[in-house]
Amino acid sequence: MWMDNLRLKLLVVGITVLSTTQIILVCMLDYRFLVTSYADPFVLTTGSWTIYVSSLFDYLIVITVQMFFAKMIFQLLKGFRKWLLVVGLMMFIVSEFAFGICWIVKE
C-alpha cells in the first residue's frame, strides 16, 4: 500500500471535488443550451452564471495542479537552478490566474 502523507491525500480529494463540481456545472450548461433553449439561438449570445463559475473552478484546478508540480520541481532540483526555474514558473502561474480572473470579471 502507498504511504502518502496527509497533504497529498487532501490535495487529491480537493482536486476531485473541484473537478466534479466543474463537470456538474458544464452538464448544467449543456442542458440549458441543448435541451431547454434548443430553438432559441439568441441564448448563445447571453452569458450564464454557470459559464463563469465553471471557468472559475477550471482555473482553480489548473492553478492548484501547476503549483503542486512547481513544488515538486523545487524539491527535486538543487542549487540556484531550482530558484530560477520555480520563480519563472510561478510568474507564469500567477499571470495565468490573473488573466483568468480578468476574463471572468470582464464577461
Domain-by-domain residue ranges, the chain? Answer: 6-37+47-106
Grid coordinates representing 74 are 523545487
Distant-in-sequence contacts of 92-95, Cβ < 8 A, 24+ apart: 93/63, 93/66, 93/67
Sign of torsion over alpha carbons 64, 58, 93, 107: negative
pTM of the complete model beyond 0.75: yes
Distant-in-sequence contacts of 71-79, Cβ < 8 A, 24+ apart: none
Of 1, 101, 3, 9, the closest CA to residue 52 belongs to 101
* pLDDT per residue of the chain (107 residues) written in tens, 0 to 9: 678 899 999 999 999 999 999 999 999 999 998 898 888 888 878 878 898 899 899 999 999 999 999 999 889 988 888 898 999 999 999 998 898 888 888 76
Per the CB < 8 A criterion, the answer to whether 29 and 77 are in contact is no
Per the CB < 8 A criterion, the answer to whether 92 and 64 are in contact is no
